[in-house]
């Protein structure tokens, strides 16, 4: 009884009676939307797993079977496929919101958030491979081969992941198991992310007048999460009308190890990283840059600065960062041809330049107000 009371008080203090700022706008709904999409993806994915077979000769056929023969199988697949894009849309909105409001001041929240981001990227990549279409297969070949740049252990790791000497059915089984198990780990980290966040409360660009001017989290902000239903309705309508607009035409061709697609591109949410990878001619440096495009943001959590914020300058830089990321994403799906080969390194440089400039300003602004 005591334990139950303590747990109840813990949850109550974080979800019901948490003193919250009055300035939280709809931008704070992105996080709750992501939680909803995660649960949605786990549910739709579990149902799809009933009929999917991770065998190299049958995987593609079972996907078609799900689409054509299973009752409402097509709905689950379309929702699962587009749900991944929905997740990344809100993930990027969530990250940009975090940059706008300098949410990296909450170190534990920021660190756990970036970890979730990396895991979700892995999850999305492995899901992409499971379809076992042309783009799936060759994306797997390209991405897993990047691990070979790891000194000493690289080739061994690649062989281990492949479970052979190339991307085969064994690789498919490997990815299927991980694709199914990883979301549960992500769920746990998301829970930690929430606990860290609600221990301190959200950051905001408006400083309220001290501690006494607060509202309860429960009716105000829990109720506000209901606004997400508007996005859900939009998602359902767009998924049913444009089911494969965000996909690639090569995803309808079964994997053929003897013939690669004319142009291999990842999903839209990886294009900026892909552009950075291709912008650097050296393989090792390219992989390092690819990793650093995400790992850079871990460094923001190493700075001890809570109160000194140059909000307008930060806003300008974040907008520039968003625009350069968007251009990088576009460059990532362009062919390796004349003006794009110049623009890719240029915008990769701008991307890293802006990220480190934000970090530098965040470090320096503390000294300005000391």
Partner 1 sequence: MRPTVVSMGKHFGNLGKMYGEHRFALAPNEQKAYKGFFDQAFVKTFKTYVWDQWYYYIPQTIGAYLLYDWAKKTNVAANRKNPADFANDQ
Q: Please tell me whether 209 is known to bind a ligand.
A: no
Task: Scan residues 335-354 and list those touching partner 1 (CB under 8 A).
Answer: 335, 337-340, 343
Q: Please tell me whether 80 is known to bind a ligand.
A: yes
In the bound state with partner 1, the residue whose beta carbon lies nearer, of 12 and 46, is 12
In the annotation, is 198 catalytic?
yes
How far is residue 52's CA from residue 60's CA, in Å, rounded to a whole number? 9
Q: Please tell me whether 94 is known to bind a ligand.
A: yes
**Is 2 a residue that touches partner 1 (CB under 8 A)?**
no
How far is residue 124's CA from residue 133's CA, in Å, rounded to a whole number? 15
Q: How far is the CB of 270 from partner 1 (least distance, A)?
A: 20
Stretch that binds partner 1, among 40-48, 129-137, 243-251, 327-335 (CB under 8 A): 327-335
In the annotation, is 365 catalytic?
no
In the bound state with partner 1, the residue whose beta carbon lies nearer, of 14 and 182, is 14
> If we measure between CA atoms, which residue out of 126, 39, 80 comes closest to residue 239?
80
How far is residue 39's CA from residue 213's CA, in Å, rounded to a whole number? 34
Buried b (16+ CB within 10 A) or exposed e, 152-174: eebeeebeebbeeeebebebbbb
**Is 320 a residue that touches partner 1 (CB under 8 A)?**
yes
Total number of residues that touch partner 1 (CB under 8 A): 36
> If we measure between CA atoms, which residue out of 173, 148, 180, 167 comes closest to residue 80?
180
How far is residue 163's CA from residue 258's CA, in Å, rounded to a whole number? 19
> If we measure between CA atoms, which residue out of 316, 351, 315, 317 comes closest to residue 331?
351
Where is 216: in which H helix or E strand?
A: strand 215-216
> Active site residue: 267, 293, 325, 344, which one?
267
Rounded to 10 degrees, the C-alpha dihedral 148/134/121/232 comes to 180
In the annotation, is 267 catalytic?
yes
In the annotation, is 209 catalytic?
no
> If we measure between CA atoms, which residue out of 217, 226, 227 comes closest to residue 11?
217
In the annotation, is 225 catalytic?
yes
List Cα–Cα distances, 22 to 126, 205, 223, 255, 310, in angstroms: 41, 12, 14, 53, 22
**Is 210 a residue that touches partner 1 (CB under 8 A)?**
yes
Q: How far is the CB of 333 from partner 1 (least distance, A)?
A: 12
CA atoms within 13 A on the CB side of 162: 22
Stretch that binds partner 1, among 47-55, 170-178, 205-213, 235-243 (CB under 8 A): 205-213
Task: Scan residues 3-32 and list those touching partner 1 (CB under 8 A).
Answer: 13, 17-21
Task: Scan residues 214-233 and list those touching partner 1 (CB under 8 A).
Answer: 214, 216
Binding-site residue numbers for heme b are 80, 94, 179, 193
**Positions at the binding site for a ubiquinone:** 198
State the catalytic residues.
198, 202, 224-225, 267
**Footprint on this chain of partner 1 (rule: CB under 8 A):** 13, 17-21, 106, 199-204, 208, 210-212, 214, 216, 306, 315-316, 319-320, 322-323, 326-327, 330, 334-335, 337-340, 343
């Amino acid at each position: 009884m005591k334990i139950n009371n303590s747990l109840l008080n813990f949850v109550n203090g974080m979800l019901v009676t948490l003193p919250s700022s009055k300035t939280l706008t709809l931008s704070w709904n992105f996080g709750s939307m992501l939680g909803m999409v995660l649960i949605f993806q786990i549910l739709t994915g579990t149902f799809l797993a009933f009929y999917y077979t991770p065998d190299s000769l049958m995987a593609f056929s079972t996907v078609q079977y799900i689409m054509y023969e299973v009752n409402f199988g097509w709905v689950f697949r379309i929702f699962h496929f587009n749900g991944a894009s929905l997740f990344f849309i809100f993930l990027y909105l969530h990250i940009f919101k975090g940059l706008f409001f300098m949410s990296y001041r909450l170190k534990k929240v920021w660190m756990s958030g970036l970890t979730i981001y990396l895991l979700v990227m892995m999850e999305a990549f492995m899901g992409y491979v499971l379809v076992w279409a042309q783009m799936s297969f060759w994306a797997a070949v390209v991405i897993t081969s990047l691990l070979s740049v790891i000194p000493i252990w690289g080739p061994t790791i690649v062989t281990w992941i492949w479970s052979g000497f190339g991307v085969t059915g064994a690789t498919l089984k490997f990815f299927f198991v991980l694709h199914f198990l990883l979301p549960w780990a992500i769920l746990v980290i998301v829970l930690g992310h929430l606990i860290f966040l609600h221990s301190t409360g959200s950051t905001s660009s408006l400083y309220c007048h001290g501690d006494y001017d607060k509202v309860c989290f429960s009716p105000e902000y829990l109720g506000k999460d209901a606004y997400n239903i508007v996005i859900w309705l939009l998602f359902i309508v767009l998924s049913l009308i444009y089911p494969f607009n965000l996909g690639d035409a090569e995803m309808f061709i079964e994997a053929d190890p003897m013939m690669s697609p004319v142009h291999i591109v990842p999903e839209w949410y990886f294009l900026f990283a892909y552009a950075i990878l291709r912008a650097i001619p050296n393989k090792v440096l390219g992989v390092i840059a690819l990793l650093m495009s995400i790992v850079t943001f871990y460094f923001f959590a190493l700075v001890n600065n809570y109160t000194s914020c140059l909000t307008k300058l930060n806003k300008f830089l974040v907008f520039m960062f968003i625009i350069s990321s968007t251009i990088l994403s576009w460059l990532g799906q362009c062919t390796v041809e004349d003006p794009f080969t110049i623009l890719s390194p240029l915008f990769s440089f701008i991307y890293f330049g802006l990220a480190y400039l934000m970090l530098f300003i965040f470090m320096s602004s503390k000294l300005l107000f000391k």
